[in-house]
Amino acid sequence: MKIQVESIGLPTLSKLIGRTSQIEMADGSVADLISFIVGRFGKPAGRILLDSKGQLDLSIQVMVNDESFLPRAEYSRRLLKDGDVVKLMLLVGGG
């Protein structure tokens, strides 16, 4: 299946995979997509996306098809379909 991945607010990831990329992967979940990206683009992608425990860094949020942010507990349960758009966004706080 083909998934469109958009990197928003993550310039180092955009340099590595492109701001918008088409990823072709076997059927899977959002967690599988993150693993696929890290596997395909290696340690640089892992340093950008993952925390010290190998989980998606807490500063990064995921949105699928412009729905609301996906809760972290759903990453392994949310199955992707051909044509889905997954946005990886830097969570920015301020005050």
Task: Tell me the pLDDT tens digit for each residue of 9-59.
Answer: 999 999 999 999 999 999 999 999 999 999 999 999 999 999 999 999 999
Q: What are phi and psi of 94, to 5 degrees?
A: -170, 180
Alpha carbons 27 and 80: distance in angstroms, whole number: 7
pTM of the model: 0.91
Q: Which domains does the chain have, with CATH numbers?
A: 2-90 (3.10.20.30)
Q: Tell me the sheet residues that pair with 63.
A: 69, 87
Based on the number of CB atoms within 10 Å of its own CB, is 62 exposed (0-12), middle (13-18) or buried (19 or more)?
buried
Q: Tell me the sheet residues that pair with 5.
A: 21, 86
For residue 95, the model assigns a pLDDT of: 59
Residue range 60-91, pLDDT digits in tens: 999 999 999 999 999 999 999 999 999 999 98
